[in-house]
Amino acid sequence: MNTPNKLTMLRILLIPVFVLFMLGGDFIPYNYVGAIVVFIAASLTDLFDGRIARKRDIVTNFGKFLDPLADKSLVISAFICLQAFGLVNPVVVIILVMREFLVTSLRLIAVGDGKVIAADIFGKVKTVIQMFSIIALLLMLCLIQVMDMTFLASSLTTAASVLSWLCAAAAVVSGANYLIKNRHCIDAKS
Protein backbone atom coordinates (compact mmCIF):
# COMPACT_ATOMS: atom_id res chain seq x y z
CA MET A 1 0.00 0.00 0.00
CA ASN A 2 2.10 2.89 -1.31
CA THR A 3 1.38 6.61 -0.87
CA PRO A 4 -0.57 7.08 -4.15
CA ASN A 5 -2.81 4.12 -3.31
CA LYS A 6 -3.36 5.49 0.20
CA LEU A 7 -4.41 8.82 -1.34
CA THR A 8 -6.82 6.99 -3.65
CA MET A 9 -8.27 5.10 -0.67
CA LEU A 10 -8.63 8.41 1.18
CA ARG A 11 -10.58 9.80 -1.79
CA ILE A 12 -12.95 6.84 -1.64
CA LEU A 13 -13.40 7.31 2.11
CA LEU A 14 -14.15 11.01 1.58
CA ILE A 15 -17.05 10.31 -0.80
CA PRO A 16 -19.59 9.32 1.91
CA VAL A 17 -18.41 12.30 4.00
CA PHE A 18 -19.04 14.58 1.03
CA VAL A 19 -22.50 13.07 0.46
CA LEU A 20 -23.31 13.42 4.17
CA PHE A 21 -22.47 17.13 4.04
CA MET A 22 -24.44 17.60 0.81
CA LEU A 23 -27.58 15.89 2.04
CA GLY A 24 -27.30 16.74 5.76
CA GLY A 25 -28.54 20.32 5.53
CA ASP A 26 -31.10 19.99 8.31
CA PHE A 27 -28.59 18.46 10.70
CA ILE A 28 -25.25 20.03 9.78
CA PRO A 29 -24.84 23.81 10.00
CA TYR A 30 -23.04 25.23 6.96
CA ASN A 31 -23.14 21.84 5.31
CA TYR A 32 -22.18 23.25 1.89
CA VAL A 33 -18.97 24.69 3.31
CA GLY A 34 -18.08 21.23 4.58
CA ALA A 35 -19.09 19.71 1.23
CA ILE A 36 -16.87 22.01 -0.82
CA VAL A 37 -13.91 21.54 1.53
CA VAL A 38 -14.25 17.75 1.35
CA PHE A 39 -14.76 17.80 -2.43
CA ILE A 40 -11.67 19.95 -3.01
CA ALA A 41 -9.62 17.78 -0.63
CA ALA A 42 -10.76 14.64 -2.46
CA SER A 43 -9.99 16.25 -5.83
CA LEU A 44 -6.50 17.17 -4.66
CA THR A 45 -5.82 13.56 -3.68
CA ASP A 46 -6.52 12.70 -7.33
CA LEU A 47 -4.03 15.31 -8.49
CA PHE A 48 -1.29 14.17 -6.12
CA ASP A 49 -1.67 10.39 -6.31
CA GLY A 50 -0.97 10.34 -10.04
CA ARG A 51 1.95 12.73 -9.82
CA ILE A 52 3.56 10.83 -6.97
CA ALA A 53 3.04 7.45 -8.66
CA ARG A 54 4.64 8.61 -11.91
CA LYS A 55 7.46 10.54 -10.23
CA ARG A 56 8.45 7.62 -7.99
CA ASP A 57 7.66 5.02 -10.66
CA ILE A 58 5.30 3.15 -8.35
CA VAL A 59 2.33 2.69 -10.67
CA THR A 60 0.48 -0.46 -9.56
CA ASN A 61 -2.38 -2.52 -10.99
CA PHE A 62 -4.28 -1.80 -7.77
CA GLY A 63 -3.87 1.94 -8.43
CA LYS A 64 -4.81 1.61 -12.11
CA PHE A 65 -7.99 -0.15 -11.03
CA LEU A 66 -8.95 1.95 -8.02
CA ASP A 67 -8.00 5.47 -9.18
CA PRO A 68 -10.53 5.76 -12.03
CA LEU A 69 -13.17 4.10 -9.86
CA ALA A 70 -12.58 6.68 -7.12
CA ASP A 71 -12.68 9.56 -9.63
CA LYS A 72 -15.90 8.42 -11.24
CA SER A 73 -17.54 7.72 -7.88
CA LEU A 74 -16.70 11.20 -6.56
CA VAL A 75 -17.97 13.04 -9.65
CA ILE A 76 -21.12 10.94 -10.08
CA SER A 77 -21.91 11.29 -6.36
CA ALA A 78 -21.65 15.07 -6.66
CA PHE A 79 -23.92 15.19 -9.69
CA ILE A 80 -26.48 12.90 -8.06
CA CYS A 81 -26.54 15.16 -4.99
CA LEU A 82 -26.92 18.26 -7.17
CA GLN A 83 -29.69 16.50 -9.09
CA ALA A 84 -31.45 15.73 -5.79
CA PHE A 85 -31.67 19.50 -5.22
CA GLY A 86 -33.12 20.02 -8.69
CA LEU A 87 -29.99 21.81 -9.90
CA VAL A 88 -29.01 19.20 -12.48
CA ASN A 89 -31.34 17.62 -14.99
CA PRO A 90 -31.62 13.83 -14.49
CA VAL A 91 -30.83 13.36 -18.20
CA VAL A 92 -27.40 14.91 -17.56
CA VAL A 93 -26.69 12.40 -14.80
CA ILE A 94 -27.79 9.55 -17.06
CA ILE A 95 -25.48 10.78 -19.84
CA LEU A 96 -22.56 11.02 -17.42
CA VAL A 97 -23.16 7.55 -16.00
CA MET A 98 -23.62 6.00 -19.46
CA ARG A 99 -20.36 7.56 -20.67
CA GLU A 100 -18.51 6.07 -17.70
CA PHE A 101 -20.04 2.64 -18.37
CA LEU A 102 -19.03 2.90 -22.03
CA VAL A 103 -15.41 3.86 -21.37
CA THR A 104 -15.02 1.37 -18.51
CA SER A 105 -16.44 -1.43 -20.67
CA LEU A 106 -14.06 -0.57 -23.51
CA ARG A 107 -11.15 -0.59 -21.10
CA LEU A 108 -12.17 -3.99 -19.69
CA ILE A 109 -12.42 -5.49 -23.18
CA ALA A 110 -9.03 -4.01 -24.10
CA VAL A 111 -7.43 -5.40 -20.93
CA GLY A 112 -8.75 -8.83 -21.90
CA ASP A 113 -6.81 -8.42 -25.15
CA GLY A 114 -3.69 -7.31 -23.27
CA LYS A 115 -4.07 -3.64 -24.22
CA VAL A 116 -4.45 -0.51 -22.14
CA ILE A 117 -6.70 2.38 -23.11
CA ALA A 118 -5.15 5.40 -21.48
CA ALA A 119 -6.93 8.66 -20.78
CA ASP A 120 -6.65 11.06 -23.70
CA ILE A 121 -7.00 14.83 -23.97
CA PHE A 122 -10.79 14.61 -24.41
CA GLY A 123 -11.14 12.60 -21.20
CA LYS A 124 -8.89 15.02 -19.33
CA VAL A 125 -10.80 18.07 -20.60
CA LYS A 126 -14.07 16.38 -19.59
CA THR A 127 -12.71 15.82 -16.09
CA VAL A 128 -11.54 19.43 -15.75
CA ILE A 129 -14.94 20.72 -16.90
CA GLN A 130 -16.72 18.44 -14.42
CA MET A 131 -14.49 19.41 -11.47
CA PHE A 132 -14.74 23.12 -12.28
CA SER A 133 -18.53 22.89 -12.63
CA ILE A 134 -19.02 21.04 -9.36
CA ILE A 135 -16.76 23.42 -7.43
CA ALA A 136 -18.45 26.48 -8.99
CA LEU A 137 -21.91 25.21 -8.05
CA LEU A 138 -20.81 24.27 -4.54
CA LEU A 139 -19.27 27.72 -4.13
CA MET A 140 -22.54 29.36 -5.14
CA LEU A 141 -24.41 27.14 -2.65
CA CYS A 142 -21.92 28.22 0.04
CA LEU A 143 -22.42 31.91 -0.74
CA ILE A 144 -26.19 31.55 -0.58
CA GLN A 145 -25.98 29.64 2.71
CA VAL A 146 -23.21 31.48 4.56
CA MET A 147 -23.62 35.04 3.35
CA ASP A 148 -27.38 34.81 2.88
CA MET A 149 -26.96 35.81 -0.75
CA THR A 150 -30.40 34.52 -1.72
CA PHE A 151 -30.35 36.81 -4.75
CA LEU A 152 -27.88 34.30 -6.21
CA ALA A 153 -30.55 31.58 -6.24
CA SER A 154 -31.77 32.36 -9.76
CA SER A 155 -28.18 32.70 -10.96
CA LEU A 156 -27.39 29.35 -9.35
CA THR A 157 -30.19 27.69 -11.29
CA THR A 158 -28.99 29.20 -14.56
CA ALA A 159 -25.34 28.39 -13.85
CA ALA A 160 -26.25 24.83 -12.86
CA SER A 161 -28.16 24.32 -16.09
CA VAL A 162 -25.39 25.72 -18.30
CA LEU A 163 -22.54 23.96 -16.49
CA SER A 164 -24.29 20.60 -16.22
CA TRP A 165 -25.19 20.55 -19.92
CA LEU A 166 -21.62 21.57 -20.73
CA CYS A 167 -20.47 18.55 -18.69
CA ALA A 168 -22.92 16.35 -20.59
CA ALA A 169 -21.63 17.63 -23.94
CA ALA A 170 -18.02 17.02 -22.87
CA ALA A 171 -19.00 13.50 -21.76
CA VAL A 172 -20.66 12.75 -25.11
CA VAL A 173 -17.69 14.07 -27.12
CA SER A 174 -15.19 12.23 -24.93
CA GLY A 175 -17.22 9.00 -24.97
CA ALA A 176 -17.66 9.15 -28.76
CA ASN A 177 -13.92 9.75 -29.17
CA TYR A 178 -13.07 6.71 -27.01
CA LEU A 179 -15.57 4.60 -28.94
CA ILE A 180 -14.32 5.68 -32.37
CA LYS A 181 -10.63 5.28 -31.47
CA ASN A 182 -11.21 1.87 -29.88
CA ARG A 183 -13.99 0.44 -32.04
CA HIS A 184 -11.67 -2.45 -32.97
CA CYS A 185 -12.17 -3.71 -29.38
CA ILE A 186 -15.84 -4.40 -30.09
CA ASP A 187 -15.59 -5.31 -33.76
CA ALA A 188 -18.27 -7.92 -34.51
CA LYS A 189 -15.62 -10.11 -36.16
CA SER A 190 -13.63 -10.31 -32.92
Per-residue confidence (pLDDT) for residue 88, from 0 to 100: 93
Per-residue confidence (pLDDT) for residue 190, from 0 to 100: 53
How far is the C-alpha of 64 from the C-alpha of 61, rounded, in Å?
5
Q: What domain count does the chain have?
A: 1
Per-residue confidence (pLDDT) for residue 107, from 0 to 100: 84
Per-residue confidence (pLDDT) for residue 155, from 0 to 100: 84
Q: What percent of the chain has a predicted confidence (pLDDT) above 90?
A: 47
Per-residue confidence (pLDDT) for residue 74, from 0 to 100: 95
Do residues 157 and 87 touch, judged by C-beta distance below 8 A? Answer: yes
CATH code: domain of residue 27: 1.20.120.1760
If DSSP codes are grouped into helix, strand and coil, which group holds residue 118?
coil
* pLDDT, tens digit, 9 for 90 and up, residues 87-129: 999 999 999 999 999 998 888 888 777 777 777 889 889 989 9
- pTM for the whole structure: 0.89
Domain that holds residue 97: 3-183
Is 151 exposed, middle or buried, given 0-12, 13-18 or 19+ CB atoms closer than 10 A? exposed
Structural domain includes residue 188: no
Low-confidence ranges of the chain (pLDDT < 70): 188-190
Per-residue confidence (pLDDT) for residue 172, from 0 to 100: 96
Per-residue confidence (pLDDT) for residue 112, from 0 to 100: 78
Cα separation values, 57 from 3, 129, 134, Å: 12, 28, 31
The CA R_g of the chain, rounded to the nearest whole Å, is: 18
Do residues 145 and 85 touch, judged by C-beta distance below 8 A? Answer: no
